[in-house]
């Protein structure tokens, strides 16, 4: 989700696909393939964060296990604070 006028980008990351430090589990089948896939996803996430930040964007990453109400409140607060500039 993006808020273009205030340059806020929100990503919802799946625990398995993005290697959540709390909930990521190793695949029981084809473990090498999935480990590399997740490693590359995390690398791409970091690159995306860096590129957007360099362009003046604020990046928010929300894990799938996070409370959606709390995450939405965090996003709303950030968007509001950037609108008030």
Each residue's pLDDT tens digit, 51-64: 999 999 999 999 99
Kindly state the greatest CA–CA separation across the chain: 50
In angstroms, the CA 53 to CA 60 distance is 11
pLDDT digits (tens, 9 = 90+) for 37-54: 999 999 999 999 999 999
Distance of CA 23 to the CA centre of its chain: 15
- The DSSP bridge pattern shows strands 2-3 and 8-13 to be antiparallel
Q: Are 65 and 22 in contact (CB under 8 A)?
A: yes
Q: Please report, rounded to a whole number, the percentage of residues in the chain having pLDDT higher than 90.
A: 89
Place of tokens 């808020």: 3
């Amino acid at each position: 989700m993006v808020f273009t006028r205030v340059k806020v980008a929100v990503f919802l990351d799946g625990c398995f696909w993005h290697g959540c430090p709390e909930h990521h589990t190793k695949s029981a089948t084809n473990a090498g393939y999935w480990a590399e896939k997740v490693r590359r996803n995390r690398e791409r996430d970091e690159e995306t964060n860096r590129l957007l930040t360099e362009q003046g964007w604020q990046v928010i990453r929300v894990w799938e296990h996070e409370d959606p109400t709390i995450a939405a409140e965090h996003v709303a607060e950030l968007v509001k604070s950037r609108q008030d500039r």
